[in-house]
Chain A
């Protein structure tokens, strides 16, 4: 039985013991990426001090919810190894976000797709966390790419092309005076 670790950020001023520097948990060697290594937590027995993790290797991704969510819900994609307690401590200590509740689920992604060699390709699974914000805070996902839809400047090639396409489309449309009736009927 593994108890969830509590992630705590060290006070910035003092580092008493040098062993606090790195992860207390050992990492098994797997690949070169920091994230890909498997963390092995030290054994916990009743009476042990609370496990602290320094320099957590977990990265969260804030995602726009696919389905409509209540205003106080924030949706994250988190690594599979993180638990609800881990997510709560992470957000509270590193980002100072008041977290009221955390709910997680694992999204299974397909292994059915095949590549050009007809081999099955697995899309990696991921864990989704729904964070309910505390202190009656709300969050709405902002529009990060808004200004990319700005109209191209006058006289540029893009602008001329757009206008041309609009004219062509206008020419293809039927006579609006016919009220939606096709030209098969009538004269």
Chain B
């Protein structure tokens, strides 16, 4: 069966797998709550990152007892919630991670947090599918949105760091090389390169793709521009007429003192 909630927190980090010291007086859940801000997510996993660093500090002073934790026997139990939450109508969960808080974390912590969030997402998807099968309501479906947003923000933060590093090291703004090219219909767009094993002049599919506008298309580009301008002018005119009508209907009143 799944390990206890304390075991869950600890098993997430392999570093602390073999020998860990927890204070007998403070349980890991309480410690995490005391330290973490109200924005920490995941009630049951108790913001494992913050909790784990807290363990390191308190373990050395006061009463300690060595605790050996093992990875839960069946990893498949992590696809389900803690048994106390089975059959509940709501499960408490905190606010999602914000980009501001994620930027304060180290790369290692972000890496671990990604997997924590991934496992949580898998668990929620499992519960969601099972609830659909059983024609029951899923407890607290907003948790899925929170996890997805946290993961998206984590991705953004990591991307920011990567971009900054790449700019410093190589001066390249983009990770994937590309070029401005003209499409068949006269639009200029950012074409992103793909990796190939052969040069472009040997690539038959690439050669079929044309990065110039043929002569018979050029007159139609002018017509398109004219149409676009006409619609823009029409919109502006209708807006002005609408405002004039409103002014007539509701004349501007002076503020009564």
Question: By the criterion CB–CB under 8 Å, are A74 and B107 in contact?
Answer: no
Residue of B nearest to A149 (CB): B87
Question: By the criterion CB–CB under 8 Å, are A96 and B126 in contact?
Answer: no
Segment among A32-40, A156-164, A171-179 that sits at the interface with chain B: A32-40
Q: Specify the main secondary structure of chain A where it touches its partner.
A: loop
With beta carbons under 8 angstroms apart, the residue of A13, A97, A148 that contacts B76 is A97
Question: By the criterion CB–CB under 8 Å, are B108 and A21 in contact?
Answer: no
Question: By the criterion CB–CB under 8 Å, are A22 and B125 in contact?
Answer: no
With beta carbons under 8 angstroms apart, the residue of A11, A33, A42, A139 that contacts B74 is A139
> How many residues on A have C-beta within 8 angstroms of the other chain's C-beta atoms?
44
Question: By the criterion CB–CB under 8 Å, are B148 and A33 in contact?
Answer: yes
Q: How far is the CA of A169 from the CA of B158 in the complex (A)?
A: 63
Residues of A8-45 contacting chain B, CB below 8 A: 9-13, 15, 18-19, 21-22, 26, 28, 32-34, 40, 42-43, 45
> How many residues on B have C-beta within 8 angstroms of the other chain's C-beta atoms?
50
Question: By the criterion CB–CB under 8 Å, are A94 and B118 in contact?
Answer: yes
Q: Is A55 an interface residue (CB 8 A)?
A: yes
Question: By the criterion CB–CB under 8 Å, are B86 and A15 in contact?
Answer: no
Q: How far is the CA of A111 from the CA of B111 in the complex (A)?
A: 39
Q: Specify the main secondary structure of chain B where it touches its partner.
A: helix
Question: By the criterion CB–CB under 8 Å, are A21 and B158 in contact?
Answer: yes
Q: How far is the CA of A145 from the CA of B165 in the complex (A)?
A: 48
Residue of A nearest to B75 (CB): A95
Q: In the assembled complex, how far is the CB of residue B202 from the closest CB belonging to chain A, in whole angstroms?
A: 15
- In the complex, per-residue mask of B117-154: 1 if CB is within 8 Å of any chain A CB, else 0: 01101100111111101101000000000001001100
Q: Is B248 an interface residue (CB 8 A)?
A: no
With beta carbons under 8 angstroms apart, the residue of A28, A59, A137 that contacts B122 is A59
Point out the residues of chain B lying under 8 angstroms from A60, CB to CB.
Answer: 79, 122, 125
Given A18-B107, A40-B194, do A144 and B158 touch, yes or no (CB 8 Å)? no
Q: Which residues of B come within 8 Å of A, CB atoms?
A: 13-15, 71, 74-76, 78-81, 86-87, 107-108, 110-112, 114-115, 118-119, 121-122, 125-131, 133-134, 136, 148, 151-152, 155, 158-159, 161-162, 165, 175-176, 192, 194-197
- What are 11 sample pairs from A and B whose C-beta atoms fall under 8 A apart? A12-B112, A18-B165, A34-B151, A34-B155, A56-B118, A59-B121, A60-B125, A62-B76, A74-B76, A91-B75, A142-B80
Other A-B pairs beyond A60-B125, A95-B79, 20, CB < 8 Å: A12-B112, A15-B108, A21-B162, A22-B159, A22-B162, A43-B195, A45-B197, A60-B79, A61-B122, A61-B125, A74-B76, A94-B75, A95-B75, A144-B134, A145-B130, A146-B86, A147-B86, A147-B87, A148-B87, A148-B136
Pairs A-B, 5 closest by C-beta atoms: A147-B87, A95-B75, A43-B195, A61-B125, A97-B75
